[in-house]
Amino acid sequence: MTWYRSPLFNVIVVGLISFTQPGIWNALNNTGAGGQQEPYLVNGANSLTFGIMVFGCSIFSILANKFGLKKVLIFGTLGYAPYSASLYVNNRYGTEWFVLFGGATCGLAASALWAAEGAIALGYADVHNRGKFTGIWLGLRELGQLIGSSIQLSLNVKSGQRGKVGYTTYLILIGLQCMGLPLALLISSPHKVIHPNGRVVADPTKNKAVMKEFHKWFKLLKDRRFYLLIPVLVGFNWNSTYQGIYLTKYFSVRARTLGALTSGIAATAANIFWGWFYDLQYFRRPTLAKLTWSIFSVLMLALFAWQVANEKLYSETKPKVTLDWSNPGFARGFAVNVLFRFMNESHYMFVYWILGAFFDDLETLTLAVGLMRSFESIGSCLAFGIGAVKVKPMVNLIVAFVMFSVTIPATFCATFLVPERPVDGRKEDLDSESTDDTMKGGNPRLILAAADPVNV
């Protein structure tokens, strides 16, 4: 077998692309406010990024089914570096408009990248490997944060006071992000991938009309399996904006860069653990879904209670607190941030796994991933929008807590719909079309043979 056509090779390359793009983006943002001294401008730019992604992710998922995942993926590697460059210029020279421009380019690129890479990670894998492949993809993405934050920590290790990271930090990270484009050229189109079991994937771009894809997208939006996930997509990650404010308000520069590093380690641990756990044969998939969400709900509620206690303590302390690893009480304030990062990454693993449990065909998965990212972007856009307004951190935290609480019942209902094996939406469409043609006098056997000669 040609090794570079294998599903595993393609998922590893997608993971490395994710490492150079959102991985580096995460490394900057998990220092708090992109490494800046004040969080408001960067939160505004991030709100713009996710505002574009609200519409962009779904649009690019439709375009991916029409023009190909590889082309959309290549486009997705072009907009992250300008954003990092804008943070460098702002850090060194104080230029603000470029940060908003970079937020816009990042939003367009991220829309394409997230729609394409998620579909590749799920769709190229066989059903029994989707947990492992998702873990590889997201785990390699966190490698970007680990390397990026290690560089930041080494360059800022002597800064025990509050402030912003040194501007030389950005130059190295921008260089890493420029590697994304050549890596994207290594990806194989779906119909060229060689599966170990001989499974053949038809070219998903053949005979595709944009309006027909939009109709399928709208049909998916009305599917109960999807719309029950909307609350968790919108509401789970609101705490990320608060965490950025929390780091800038109460931690020294070197503690913030340490926070970025340990957050990357926590996220990598989450990807490895859940990638292994979801592919276990010990539990049935429906049982696994209910068990996982129950654990998530309890742990997240406990973390919010811990964080509220911390925020109340630090906001009322006089004089203003600066938490550094050389100070007593540092672990109490620092550990909760790392645990939140573990749970946020666990949430990504859970949502991608549950989509892979619902749907089997690449076309539906591409649309589902794009739609999923659109709703996640709504939540992030609103959360960063609130973060850009100078409200008290406690207000931001309480809003995040309320948004998570709203997600619990609907997501639990969604876990009751998880089947033991995912449904092939392409076969459902063919069955529906054959039924319609039969009613008009057609021969369903001939219709199916023409549509899919390999599997009939």
pLDDT digits (tens, 9 = 90+) for 322-338: 888 888 888 888 999 89
Q: What is the pLDDT of residue 346?
A: 92
Q: Is residue 433 part of a domain?
A: no
pLDDT exceeds cutoff 60 at 186: yes
Q: Is residue 286 part of a domain?
A: yes
The pTM for the full model equals 0.73
Cβ pair 197, 126 in contact under 8 A: yes
Give the chain's domain count: 1
Name the pLDDT band for 203 (thresholds 50, 70, 90): low
Q: Is residue 434 part of a domain?
A: no
As beta bridge partners, residue 423 has 359
Q: Is residue 47 part of a domain?
A: yes
The per-residue pLDDT of the chain, averaged, comes to: 80
Q: Is residue 429 part of a domain?
A: no
pLDDT exceeds cutoff 50 at 250: yes
Which structure tokens are listed for 115? 């729609």
pLDDT exceeds cutoff 50 at 87: yes
Q: Is residue 210 part of a domain?
A: yes
Q: What is the pLDDT of residue 336?
A: 92
Name the pLDDT band for 165 (thresholds 50, 70, 90): low
What is the domain range of residue 349?
A: 3-423
Q: Is residue 431 part of a domain?
A: no
pLDDT exceeds cutoff 90 at 244: no
Q: What is the pLDDT of residue 105?
A: 94
Q: Is residue 241 part of a domain?
A: yes
Domain containing residue 278: CATH number: 1.20.1250.20
